[in-house]
Amino acid sequence: MLPAHAHEYYVPTLRISHPWCRATPAGAPNAVVCITFDEVRAADRLVWVETPVATSAELFDGTVARPVDFAIASGRDTELGEAGTVLRLTGLTQALQLGRSYPLRLVFAQGGEVAATLDVAYASLR
């Protein structure tokens, strides 16, 4: 569910396409971040997510939250979306307003780190 071709980021092992989230109402504690990993040349793991607009990040399967450690298989596209196990920013320090973008630092076990941008691309569902 991506807007038309947008910003891509690269580590040596894979491409990260257009991290995005929905706008959050004031006081909302969390935001789900959607990202597609493609052009995966070597298996890797997303092991750290950091942004100035949240205190931390986690993976959440609807019941259990765990630290960010997300496997990305070689040779196929992998998506973190709004369903199933999601990547969630927690402890939002501000409402994420529609149309804005914020720094998003991603760290991969093999590929290292990349400075990406998180786009607030859609209105809140509520």
Partner 1 sequence: MASRHTKSHLALAALAAIGSSGLATAPTLASAAGKVPGKYVAGDFHNHTTCSDGSISMQKLVNKATTQGDGTFGLDWFVQAGHGGSGNRNCTLTEDQTLSTPVYPVTPQGPTTTWQNTTPPVQPKGLVSGTAPNQVMWRWQSIQEFQYPLIEYLNAFKNLPLFLGIESVVAGHEHASMSVITGQIPLSLDTATLPTAPNYNLNGSRYTPLGSASSLAQWEYCFDRNDVDTSRGNTTVGSASGNNWTCVVPGSANEADASWNATAQKLIPTGSGLGSGLGTKGHLKTLEAMKWMVANHPNGSYYVPAHLERAGPFNPDSNNGFNVEHLRNFNNAAPNVAFGFETQPGHGASSDRGEYAVLRNGFVGSATNVDSVGGTTYGGTGVYGAQVGGVWDALLGEGRNYWFFASSDWHNRGSFGPDDRRTTQDFLPGEYQRNYTMVRNGSDKLRPQGIVDGLRTGNNFAASGQLIDRLAFVACASYPGPAAKSNAAVEAIAVAAATHNTDTDVAGCATMGEKLKVRPGAEIVVSIVVRDPAGTNFSPYAFPNPSLLQIGVNQPINAPVLDHIDLVRGMVGGYRTPGAADYAGEWPRNTAWLRADGTTADLSVVPAAAKNTSAMVVKTFSGSAVTPWAAVQSGVDNTTFLKMTYRIPAVAASQYVRLRGSNLPASVPFETDASGNPLADVYTNASNPARLRIPCTTVQTTVIPAGAPYTGTAIDGCPAHLPTVTIPASGNTPAYTGKAVAFDVAAWSDLWFYSNPIYVEVSGSTTVAGVR
Spatial distance between the Cα atoms of 110 and 117, rounded to a whole number of angstroms: 20
Going by C-beta distance under 8 Å and a sequence separation of 6 or more, which residues neighbour residue 63? none
Q: Compare residues 65 and 123 and give the one whose CB is closer to partner 1.
A: 123
41 Cα distance to chain centroid: 20
99 lies in the site for partner 1, by CB under 8 A:
yes
8 Å CB contact between 103 and 50: no
43 lies in the site for partner 1, by CB under 8 A:
no
8 Å CB contact between 12 and 44: no
Residue 79: CB minimum distance to partner 1, A = 11
113 lies in the site for partner 1, by CB under 8 A:
no
Per CB under 8 A, the segment of 11-19, 55-63, 64-72, 84-92 that binds partner 1 is: 11-19
1 lies in the site for partner 1, by CB under 8 A:
yes
